[in-house]
Structure 1
């Protein structure tokens, strides 16, 4: 979708679902829409959230897919970009991609939530794909 279209609006909504738990458990320790480095093709990557704790920065990318489409295929590029950003910075130790929405195909959702990117991307452990429920549970326990 083009900027300002339906995709952008649903993405902004998804961020607003995640933000309250960060405000409760990481108040003063997170920022929104932070430039954290460059994507693989050179464009600046803006993280939806960056959480700073005692062990370093955590990048959080909120990914919502409301309807079927090719956006799910772009997630491996996103994961690879996040790996590269973390490798090339001493500021960040981990990234989460938080999935939501019913538009992901069954195969893509399974691949992503089972973190199968670990099998195909070097240093894949630096990025974890996680459901909203799991992300909220970890944040509630202070275990990001």
Structure 2
């Protein structure tokens, strides 16, 4: 689910922000731009990162929203696709959606970071939405 134009450039930057902590704490145990399954509508889904640990694979989707727009509304589709991918795979046990940027509306950001998708999507516990700070803190502790 890559946006076009400027969104692609800011998304690539966002991945560069996350990568150093993975390089330090998960060296040799993560890959970038990995095909992990199919989105709900059938297109291939490429994870920004896949981290491997003793318990299995963890999909990481880095989502940067620099300006207001409809991208935040597409995140529920993203989360539902990730749930489906994990359900249909023996390889992945969990996914993180890492939010960043000032373009998310207050309501959307709050909904997402409270993980309220779990109230409306079956198996919502398989995907956790976190801020960059929370993700980096967990990764620094080796607790993804």
Do both proteins adopt the same fold according to a TM-score greater than 0.5, normalized to the shorter chain?
Answer: yes
Measure how far apart 1:2 and its partner are. Answer: 5.9
Structure 1: unaligned runs, 5 residues or longer: none
Calculate the aligned-residue CA RMSD, in Å: 0.9
The count of residues paired between Structure 1 and Structure 2 equals 143
Partners of 1:80 and 1:2 lie apart in 2 by 18
TM-score (norm 2): 0.98
Query: SS at the partner of 1:117?
Result: helix
TM-score (norm 1): 0.98
Query: SS at the partner of 1:102?
Result: coil
* Equivalent residue, structure 2, for 1:67: 67
Partners of 1:82 and 1:2 lie apart in 2 by 17
* Equivalent residue, structure 2, for 1:112: 112
Q: Deviations over 1:20-64 (max 9, x none)?
A: 000000000000000000000000000000001000000000000
Partners of 2:3 and 2:111 lie apart in 1 by 26
Name segments (4+ residues, structure 1) moved above 2 Å: none
- Structure 1 pair 2–18 and aligned structure 2 pair: CA distance change class (3 A): closer
* Equivalent residue, structure 2, for 1:19: 19
